[in-house]
């Protein structure tokens, strides 16, 4: 399972996600976590970033 697939699973479980949360849960760099967030957003899994840095997960 790739880090991207793991990130999607984490986001769905928690209902929200942020870069630092992915960093901690996946033990990856800030840059890699940011790239995963960007891809998740482009693929339509998460919302735009709120002022507090949180992205919310869209329901399937």
Interatomic CA distance for residues 29 and 24, integer angstroms: 9
The pTM score is: 0.86
Residue 42's pLDDT is: 95
Interatomic CA distance for residues 57 and 40, integer angstroms: 9
Burial class (CB in 10 A: 0-12, 13-18, 19+), 11: buried
Domains in the chain: ranges and CATH: 3-55 (1.10.10)
Residue 60's pLDDT is: 58
H helix runs in 1-60, sequence order? 3-14, 19-26, 30-42
Residue 49: band (very low, low, confident or very high) from pLDDT cuts 50, 70, 90: confident
């Amino acid at each position: 399972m790739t880090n991207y697939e793991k990130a999607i699973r984490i986001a769905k479980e928690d209902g929200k996600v942020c870069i630092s949360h992915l960093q901690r849960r996946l033990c990856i760099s800030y840059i890699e976590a940011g790239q995963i967030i960007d891809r998740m957003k482009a693929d339509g899994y998460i919302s735009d970033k709120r002022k507090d840095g949180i992205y919310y997960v869209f329901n399937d």
